[in-house]
C-alpha cells in the first residue's frame, strides 16, 4: 500500500467519527434531553408548590413528636393533617403516594421476573 492510500483511510475514519458524533449529538438533543428537561421541570414545579403550600421541617417535627406517643396516635394525626391541609398540598401528597405505589408494584414485578429466571438457571446448573 502506498502512503497516499493510508492517508485517505485515516481521513475516512476521521470523517466517519465526526459524522457519527454529530448524529449521536442530534439524537441526544432530540430524544434524551427533552425527557430529562421534563423531569427537571416537573421536580422544580413540585418543589415550588410544596414550598408555597407547607413548611416541611415543621411537619416533620410534629410527626416525630406524635410518633413518640406510639402507633395509636399516628393515624389520627395523619388524618387530621391531611384534612386541614391546603388542597394543593394534599393533591401533591396524593399523587406522590400513587406514584410510589405504582413504582413499588413495578419494582416487585421486575424482582419476581428476575427471581423466576434465576431459579430456572439454577436448576439447569444443578443437573
What residue spans of 54-86 are helical by DSSP H?
56-67, 74-83
58-114 per-position pLDDT tens digit: 777 888 888 888 878 888 888 888 888 878 778 878 888 899 999 999 999 988 888
What does pTM read for this prediction?
A: 0.44
Instruction: Tell me, yes or no, whether 32 lies in a domain.
Output: yes
- What distances in angstroms separate CA 121 from CA 47, 111, 113, 116, 125, one per listed residue? 45, 15, 12, 9, 6
Instruction: Tell me, yes or no, whether 2 lies in a domain.
Output: yes
13-70 per-position pLDDT tens digit: 888 888 889 988 888 888 877 777 777 888 888 778 777 766 777 777 888 888 888 8
The range of the structural domain enclosing residue 32 comes to 1-40
> How many domains is the chain built from?
1
Cell of 76: 389520627
Instruction: Tell me, yes or no, whether 65 lies in a domain.
Output: no
Instruction: Tell me, yes or no, whether 60 lies in a domain.
Output: no
| Grid cell 427537571 in the structure block, residue | 40
Amino acid at each position: 500500500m502506498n502512503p497516499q492510500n493510508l492517508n485517505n483511510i485515516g481521513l475516512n475514519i476521521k470523517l466517519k467519527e465526526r459524522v457519527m458524533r454529530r448524529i449521536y449529538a442530534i439524537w441526544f438533543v432530540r430524544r434524551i434531553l427533552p425527557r430529562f428537561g421534563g423531569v427537571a421541570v416537573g421536580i422544580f414545579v413540585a418543589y415550588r408548590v410544596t414550598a408555597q403550600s407547607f413548611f416541611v421541617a415543621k411537619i416533620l417535627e410534629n410527626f416525630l413528636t406524635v410518633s413518640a406517643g406510639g402507633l395509636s396516635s399516628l393515624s389520627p394525626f395523619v388524618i387530621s393533617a391531611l384534612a386541614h391541609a391546603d388542597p394543593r398540598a394534599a393533591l401533591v401528597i396524593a399523587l406522590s403516594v400513587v406514584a410510589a405505589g405504582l413504582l413499588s408494584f413495578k419494582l416487585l414485578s421486575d424482582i419476581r421476573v428476575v427471581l423466576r429466571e434465576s431459579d430456572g438457571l439454577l436448576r439447569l446448573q444443578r443437573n
